[in-house]
Amino acid sequence: MSSIQEHFKSDKNGHSNDAEQSHRDSGYSPSYGEHAVPQKPLPEKDWPMPKLRIQVADLSSPGSIEFFANLHPTELLREAVMAVLTTLYTPENCPRHVRSVTLYIDEMGGVAHSNGSSLDDDHKEIHLSTSHISNNKQRAKDEIRGVIFHEMVHCYQYNGKGKCPGGLIEGIADFVRLRAQLGPPHWKRGGSKWDEGYQTTAFFLDWLDGKFGAGTVQKINLCMRQPYRVEIFQEVTGQSVESLWQSYKESLGN
């Protein structure tokens, strides 16, 4: 087992601080969409672009072949970085500490996960499962893009000094995926609680951004540079998160 593998193994049990943040995502259902992804502006000098790298364990695996048949890795990673930065930040307040992002394409369980490298949290790693690519062959391009955009959020978002609920972390990641028009068609609005995570929280955040103005989710993310407190919703919108969730549910007719 390599030192990298050992690191991932040890990462499975949690991620509670900024320096050692790891996210594992295995709950995705497949995407069937043929969404057009709007062209993101090319990185301008105001937006920091990290060094982008890729490591492929086996170029002849069906998942790797499918990946390269559908996507150019440089474009994929650049667009993912730009989607995250332009959705969650401005050039003035965006994080500039991320020095590199490496995409690992390898056989593994689950869908994907991300973490800081074992040596330095400024070097990020995104791991994508070749099995997941193979299992979503009919819509490989959209599915890979959606998953990578989601994981790229984890490389750049704030986590309230490790105190942010996991559901909000995942919801912000899928909010960026949703805003990039990469939300799979089976995603549905609704859910049982605001911090259920993934698309449930993503649609809630999307509603907040519409109701309280573009930049609302940016503000929530930026508040989480400090230790997370649920009161940040009140401070940003003037209403408690439970009250907001009730209004959201009412807007859906339930």
Least distance CB 23 / Zn ion (angstroms): 4
Q: Which of 7, 8, 21, 23 binds Zn ion (CB under 5 A)?
A: 23
C-beta separation of 151 from 25 below 8 A:
yes
Give the 3-state secondary structure of residue 112.
strand
Nearer to Zn ion, 170 or 209 (CB): 170
Give me the numbers of helices (H) and strands (E) for the chain, helices first please. Answer: 10, 5
Nearer to Zn ion, 15 or 23 (CB): 23
Size of the site for Zn ion (CB under 5 A): 4
**Choices 1-9, 35-43, 86-94, 168-176; region in contact with Zn ion by CB under 5 A:** 168-176
Q: How far is the CB of 199 from Zn ion (least distance, A)?
A: 12
From 2-10, 19-27, 81-89, 216-224, give the range in contact with Zn ion by CB under 5 A. Answer: 19-27
Sign (positive/negative) of CA torsion 85, 91, 95, 100? positive
| Min CB(43)–Zn ion separation in Å | 24
Segment 93 to 112, residues that bind Zn ion, using CB under 5 A:
none
The dihedral region occupied by 215, where left means phi > 0, alpha psi between -120 and 50, and beta the remainder, is left
Stretch that binds Zn ion, among 23-31, 32-40, 63-71, 228-236 (CB under 5 A): 23-31
Q: Least distance (Å) from Zn ion to the CB of residue 88?
A: 14
Asked if 173 interacts with Zn ion (CB under 5 A), we say yes
- Residue 195 sits in the site that holds Zn ion (CB under 5 A): no
User: How many angstroms separate the Cα of 82 from the Cα of each of 4, 41, 42, 210?
Assistant: 27, 8, 8, 21
- 183 to each of 68, 118, 231, how far by Cα in Å? 22, 31, 29
> In this complex, which beta carbon is closest to Zn ion, that of residue 128 or of residue 173?
173
Q: How many Å apart are CA 208 and CA 200, to the nearest integer?
A: 13
Matching residue, tokens 């890795």: 73
Q: Looking at beta carbons only, is 7 or 127 nearer to Zn ion?
A: 127
**How does 118-131 read in b/e, with b if 16+ C-beta sit within 10 Å?**
beebebbbbbbbbb
The whole-angstrom separation of Cα 222 and Cα 226 is 8
Per CB under 5 A, the list member of 15, 21, 25, 86 interacting with Zn ion is 25
127 near Zn ion, rule: CB under 5 A = no
113 vs 141, which CB is nearer to Zn ion?
A: 113
Binding site for Zn ion (CB under 5 A): 23, 25, 170, 173
